[in-house]
Chain A
Amino acid sequence: MISLAGRDILHGWGKFALTGLGLGLLIGVTLTMGGVYRGMVDDAMVLLDNSGADLWVVQQETLGPYAESSSIFDDTWRSVSGMPGVEEAANVTYLTTQVRRGTEDVRAMVVGVDPGMPGSPGQPGYLTAGRHITRSHYEAVADGATGFRPGDEIRIRRNTYTVVGLTRRMVSSGGDPMIFIPLKDAQEAQFLKDNDSILQQRRRTASNPSLNRPGVPGLLESVITSQSANQYVNAVLVRLLPGADPDETAAHIRRWLRLEVYTRDQMEEILLGKLIATSSRQIGMFLVILAVVSAAIVAFIIYTLTMGKIREIAVLKLIGTKNRTIVSMILQQAVGLGVLGFMIGKIAATFWAPFFPKFVLLQARDAVTGFAAVIVMCVLASILAIRAALKVDPAEAIGG
């Protein structure tokens, strides 16, 4: 039996191809939006995975260190290290800022870690070039997405750092690439004031009689020193001993150190359920709108194509073509349009995804779901055209 749909498509292939291209680009945008969401989730998972931590110890009543700011003393790690089940604990600070290289600047998350301790929680997992930070000041390891190269001089706040190594897929939950610097420098960078402010503070401290007592030598200097030093970090990352129960160790730390502790599952819930929840809903809305627009376009095109064949449909009905043959023709065209559109969309999304500034993750599972959704959408969109075709009176072919 002749494929009426196939022949019609071949006969008007130009119109069909252009329609498929337009629909395909729309489907490509939809797939990319899904990929942006998957990329955000993957960034969040990578952030947790690459931290090398099993527990996150943060300030009480905060959701830190990623979702809220958190400050705990930088010697807390010693107490945490002594808790049952803890293999290793390390301080870490996070600061999202603009990092300059020459005249350019890059949005990055600056991570403060203890130098000379590769493999500890919070450290860059592996390097693609150069070496780890070994000095206590002014060295940096940058994610490749920053575009920096080993040997580059970069400026963070008021200090200049030398890039000594490169890593990859170390990103914040917002997708910003990470730059690792020594902890002391990071602590300073977080609370660094300008020179005028420092002078102003020193003057205010010196004019305070209780802090600048005559006959108490060294008091004023001690107070000023404590004011200009930052003794806080954002979190202590904990690696557990093999077989240790995260909930049990977390309960110990909460009870004895009076700090908030999050396990891996809880941190995932914070990142996915709170930090990127609004963005997810935003993307979800876009996906719904794009799906509705795509369905409307398919419905319009199939309806227009069908209405353009009313006389032929009347003739086909008059010469005895069954309704199901005509319905099948319209459905096949709608599904054909969907398949062509999906193929173009998938190719387009795969082609342009790497050029997006943030990570776009196109998963095969999403492609399969998207394909099924496109086919269902095309079938639903053809209902209007099918109704119109079934209403055609074969007598129209005879006229009169």
Chain B
Amino acid sequence: MAERQTRGIIIEGLRKRYGAGETAVDALKGVDMAVSPGEVVGLIGPSGSGKTTLLKCLGAVIEPTAGRMTLGNDVIYDGKWRIKDLRALRRDRIGFIFQAPYLIPFLNVTDNVALLPMLAGHSDGESRTRAGELLEALDVAHRASAMPSQLSGGEQQRVAIARALANRPPVILADEPTAPLDSERALSVITILNAMAKQYETAIIVVTHDEKIIPTFRRIYRIRDGRTEETAGEGRSTEKPETGKPEEERA
């Protein structure tokens, strides 16, 4: 298990070129981002702008062509991978949330979450305890022994969030996590992500097209033609207004 990281994730001048010669395509042309622990930022952009390529680079699934990535206190990419075991990097230090939950259909809810700590070498008991705590925090503990097919879409996505948090990674990459959900559930997921980011000091990057949740981000990175541009978001609250409490205060 990685030590508690303090710097989130920093990306500087990240480039990715597919192919070579005349047919080469520059998917990323110098991306700069920085996400602090406990922060949730949005990454938005039109189709073909490079969002998925950036996500794959950040997830150590494909190798960038140039640039620098720092995860926590470690430089993980600097023209080449500085970490030998990318599989362990993905397992221990990066959490993934997908558009569809992609839970393992033959494992129950607890085991879906406990699988990651187990893969990282933790004992079964410790892994299940940690899974139980996360499920409790995400309010799905009552479905702990259910199979994924028995859960609603929202419950499945909350279990997927618990799985992403299971190894306490410094960064979580969320790829359109609210796409299949209605407004209420989508906002609920963002609420949970904000709470989890703060509770576990995790930097969360949410790739989205979802107009419902874009106003909830305090910071947004817009990606266009392989370059990012940082803008301030509205940071609108995702919680229902409480009586007698001004909007600013809640925000």
Residues of A within 8 A of B (CB): 1-2, 4, 7-8, 10-12, 311-312, 315-322, 325, 393-395, 397-400
In contact, A7 and B111 (Cβ under 8 angstroms):
yes
B33 to chain A, nearest CB (A): 17
Q: Can you give 26 A-B contacts (C-beta < 8 A)?
A: A1-B118, A2-B107, A2-B111, A2-B124, A4-B104, A4-B106, A10-B106, A312-B105, A315-B104, A316-B104, A317-B87, A319-B90, A319-B163, A320-B88, A320-B89, A320-B92, A320-B116, A320-B120, A321-B91, A325-B119, A393-B61, A395-B56, A397-B96, A397-B98, A398-B52, A398-B61
Once the chains are docked, how many angstroms separate the CA of A398 from the CA of B115? 19
Tell me whether B111 and A399 are in contact (CB under 8 A). Answer: no
Tell me if A318 and B99 are in contact (CB < 8 A).
Answer: no
Which residues of chain B have C-beta atoms less than 8 A from A4's C-beta?
104, 106-107
12 new A-B contacts at CB < 8 Å, known A398-B52, A399-B175: A7-B106, A311-B102, A312-B102, A312-B104, A312-B105, A318-B90, A319-B115, A320-B119, A322-B87, A322-B119, A394-B61, A398-B98
**For the complex, what is the distance from the CA of A312 to the CA of B56, rounded to whole Å?**
18
Separation of A12 and B119 alpha carbons in the complex (Å): 23
From B55, B96, B124, B175, A319 is in contact (CB under 8 Å) with B96
Least CB distance, B174 to chain A, in whole angstroms: 11
- The reply to whether A320 and B56 form a contact with Cβ atoms under 8 Å apart is no
- B14-73 with Cβ < 8 A to chain A: 51-53, 55-56, 59, 61-62
Which B residues fall within an 8 A CB radius of A? 51-53, 55-56, 59, 61-62, 87-92, 96, 98-99, 102, 104-107, 111, 114-116, 118-120, 124, 147, 163, 175
> Are B99 and A399 in contact (CB-based, < 8 A)?
yes
Q: How far is the CB of B48 from chain A (nearest CB, A)?
A: 10
Whether B53 pairs with A319 at a CB distance below 8 angstroms is no
A-B CB proximity, top 5 nearest: A320-B91, A400-B52, A11-B106, A8-B106, A395-B61
Q: List, in ascending order, chain A residues with CB within 8 A of B111's CB.
A: 2, 7
Contact B105 A321 (CB under 8 A): no
Chain A residues with Cβ below 8 Å from B96 are 318-319, 397-398
- A318 in contact with B106 (CB, 8 Å): no
Q: Give every chain A residue within 8 A of B51 (Cβ-Cβ).
A: 400
- Chain A minimum-CB-distance residue to B124: A1
Q: How far is the CA of A8 from the CA of B108 in the complex (A)?
A: 11
Provide the main secondary structure of the chain A interface.
helix
Q: Please indicate the chain A residues that have their CB under 8 angstroms from the CB of B92 in the complex.
A: 320
Provide the bound-state CA to CA distance between A311 and B103, in Å.
10
* B59→A398 contact, CB < 8 A: yes
Known interface pairs A7-B111, A397-B96; A2-B118 also in contact (CB < 8 Å) = yes
For A319, list chain B residues within 8 Å (CB): 90-91, 96, 115-116, 119, 163
User: B147, A11: Cβ atoms under 8 Å?
Assistant: yes
Complexed CA–CA distance, A315 and B160 (Å): 11
B119 proximity list for chain A (CB < 8 A): 319-322, 325
Chain B residue at smallest Cβ distance from A12? B106
Give the nearest-CB partner of A394 in chain B.
B61
CA distance A397 to B88 in the complex (A): 17
Would you give the shortest CB distance from B45 to chain A, in whole angstroms?
12
Q: Are B87 and A315 closer than 8 Å at their CB atoms?
A: no
Q: In the complex, what residues of B have CB within 8 A of residue A399's CB?
A: 52, 98-99, 175
Closest to B98 in A: A397
Distance of A315 Cα from B98 Cα, bound (Å):
10
CA distance A128 to B163 in the complex (A): 73
A315 touching B102, Cβ below 8 Å? yes
The residue on A at minimum CB distance from B116 is A319
Q: Which residue of B lies closest to A11 (CB)?
A: B106
* Contact status B104-A320, CB under 8 Å: no
Distance to closest chain A CB from B169 (angstroms): 10
- Tell me the minimal C-beta distance from A332 to chain B in angstroms: 13
Contacts of A317 in B (CB 8 A): 87
B168 to A: closest C-beta gap in Å: 14
Contacts of A315 in B (CB 8 A): 98, 102, 104
